Structure 1
Amino acid sequence: MRKIVSLSIWLLVTLGTAGTAVAETKIMLIHSYHQEMKWVEDLTTGVKQELGEDYQLYIHHMDTKRLPKGMFKYSAVRAFSAFQEQKPDLVIICDDNGFGLLGQRIAETTPVVFCGINSDIRRDYPWVINSNNITGVVERPMIKRSIVEFARATSIKLHRVLILLGDSLTADAIYQYDLGAKSHFRIAKNIRADVVRVSSADAWKEQIKLSKKQGYDLILIAGYAAMHEANGEYVSFDELSRWVAANSPVITITSHEQAIGKGRVMAGMVVSGILMGQDSANLAKQLLALPKGSHQIPIHFQSQGKMILSRHELRNWGLKIDNITSRSLILLP
């Protein structure tokens, strides 16, 4: 495994201006993943924008995309030790890995806001339902909508689509809840979709290489940010995205914003990490303001997305933009 610089990265953001007292309310932001992911960066930006100068913000990264699953519990122990040391007034936990490992335990003593959760709350986190101490934002990846909107934008004719997923907790949630745990279904009258899940980067690449021979017109890749080689070595998200641009025999799109761009994946309908962070911080402020014994703040569902396309990759495949207005479309170089 490539050397990981650190298991956790601490940032202490002291808010306030010269001559004023430091804000007394402490919020801890626990990221399941690592700092270099754009999703993580955008979530942090959104949280900071919404909190402003009225809070002290402590940030911890669990790094569970790069770490093997066998080290998740160790990462959770380190995160919980940091929580105990900082003694925050509220904790925001981002994504399923962190929330599943830490949410219930932290919520025993401290208000919790979750965000970026792909799982079904009632099924996977039933202890949340009757708690007045927890609220958050559920993320719904727009897998089917990405395919439909891409076809509409480019007027491409699709017949068979491959949805390629990894075996991470995020990928599992997408399969279970966004795709209904179905391996075969129709997205539209004339578009048939097959879902394939793989457990290693080698198998993932092989599936993409075979896609054209298997009769697919398009591939949608999702849930592959935690991919490892068969020997356990982590393969970076960016490396895999660039491999797709250089090697995929068919058009490939994604649900991950960080993967889209020149020399990477062509397009995708994505959820805004900045909006997710803003919504989560807003819920945190509401939860902190509630009197004890108040009713639970309703859980939010974020499904508002944006279609992003790379001009360079569109040109490589001879595609043009046709049927999407400029307000609902973001074009990258």
Structure 2
Amino acid sequence: MRTLLLALLLVSPLCFSKTVVIIESYHQGYKWDADYIAAVQSVLGDDHDIHVLALDTKRLPKPEWPQKVASLQQSISEIQPDIAILGDDNAFSLMADHLVERKIPVVFLGVNGGTVQHPTLEHDLVAGLLERPFFEESIRHLQKVLRVDKHFLVLMDDSPTMRNAVNEYFGDKRSAEIYGSKLDIVLTNDKDTWLQAVVRAHELYDAIIVGTHHTIRDAEGTYIAPDELITRAFNQSRVPIFSFWDINIGKQQAIGGFTISAHQEGITAARLASLILNGVKPSRIPKMNSLSGHYIYSRSGMAHWNLELSPMIATQANFVE
């Protein structure tokens, strides 16, 4: 079944024009959202009417979420979509039940939680792609790049996405070992705690690997822009900073890594949606994990940290800047 599904994803012919709604957990100014939305539009946009609705949950305080959800539910009533594509855990937890109650098929991507957090994942109208960071592949890759296998700091915000990603793989442990490398995992939404971990990382660690850092606030509760935060980390860290996500890599950001691609996640979700629009029942589509990662590196970051990739890795990598 999985082999057949993968084959169908490569061709997935399109049916007559339908209405598709994309519900993003965050906002299109957030690169992850912008990348997967562009990918969905590249697959479906020429043949279908696509509407994008944003929950904006990284910036909106949680007490304001119910009002935002009610607004999007009203939009759903007006749009009357044939299918909904939900991006990330918050969109799924806040909107999936409402959609399936209205008999609207759901395709999800970027969801880190399992059925314990999201029981609706098992609904017959739901199909999609579970986002799973490439923890093992990333560590093996960094061992080759850095030629060390000692100690890494995994630094993330304390968002539902990151908690689910960590708990799925590590359980409640916040120290672990992968292929002989020790990992200490820090999840925090406090700016000072996050930056202090960066500043002191050289005392224990060979490198930092960041997850998302998009729900972090200062002591007064002011939201800290992710680009501002990672730039401060770049300038203050004495060890190189890598990432599990390609959206965090670039000038004065993370240097690179073996990462999840928002674009590829969006392509796969769009092809799943196309299958459903062509009559395939969502219940016949098995849930899949992220299908493929890629090597991506910042040229300026490599120069900053005096890092060179082996010829084999360099030929497989994508470079920004």
TM-score (norm. length: structure 2) = 0.89
Specify the code of the residue in structure 2 equivalent to 1:114: F
3-state SS of paired residue (1:123): coil
- Give the match's secondary structure for 2:276: helix
Give the aligned partner of residue 171 of structure 1: 162
1:24: Cα distance to partner? 4.7
CA distance in structure 2 between the partners assigned to 1:70 and 1:149 by the alignment: 41
Tell me, yes or no, if structure 1 residue 201 matches structure 2 residue 191: yes
1:186 and 2:177 aligned: yes
> Could you tell me how far 1:323 is from its partner in structure 2?
5.7
Matched-pair contact (CA < 8 Å) for 2:126–2:283: no
In structure 2, the partner of 1:244 is 233
Does 2:124 match 1:132?
yes
CA positional deviation for 1:204: 0.5
Alpha-carbon shift at residue 30 of structure 1 (Å): 0.6
Letter of the 1:251 partner, please give it: P
Residue 120 of structure 2 contacts residue 126 of structure 2 at CA under 8 Å; is this kept in 1? no
SS in 2 for 1:229: coil
Q: Deviations over 1:96-115 (max 9, x none)?
A: 01111111121111111111
- Structure 1 segments, 4+ long, off by >6 Å, are none
Residue 316 (1) aligns with residue 304 (2): yes
| Structure with the larger helix share | 2
Q: Structure 1: which 5+ runs fail to align?
A: 1-22
Separation of aligned partners in 2, 1:330 and 1:43: 18
Look up the SS of the partner of 1:135 in the other structure: strand
Report the CA distance shift for 1:58/1:238 in structure 2 as closer, same or farther (over 3 A): same
Aligned residues: 305
RMSD: 1.9
Give 3-state SS (helix, strand or coil) of 1:287's partner: helix
Q: Give the distance between the partners of 2:211 and 2:82, measured in 1 at CA.
A: 35
**How many percent identity over aligned positions?**
28
Equivalent residue, structure 2, for 1:37: 30
Deviation string 1:220-244 (CA, Å, 9 cap, x unpaired) is 1113122111211111111111111
| 1:17 paired residue number | none
Question: Match of 1:218?
Answer: 207
Structure 2: state its 5+ residue gaps.
Answer: 1-15
- Please give the secondary structure, in 2, of the residue aligned with 1:325: helix
Moved more, 217-226 or 174-183: 174-183
The TM-score, its normalising length taken from structure 1, stands at 0.86
Answer yes or no: is the 8 Å Cα contact 1:116–1:276 preserved in 2.
yes
Note if contact 2:190-2:217 (Cα within 8 Å) is conserved in structure 1.
Answer: yes
SS in 1 for 2:116: helix
Say if 2:88 and 2:112, in contact at 8 Å, map to a contact too. yes
Q: Is the 8 A contact 1:162 1:216 kept in 2?
A: yes
Once residues 145 and 185 of structure 1 are traced to their aligned partners in structure 2, the CA distance between those partners, rounded to angstroms, is: 15
Q: Which amino acid aligns with 2:254?
A: V
Asked if structure 2 preserves the Cα contact closer than 8 Å seen for 1:161 and 1:220, the reply is: yes
Give me the whole-angstrom Cα distance separating, in 1, the residues matched to 2:24 and 2:116: 23
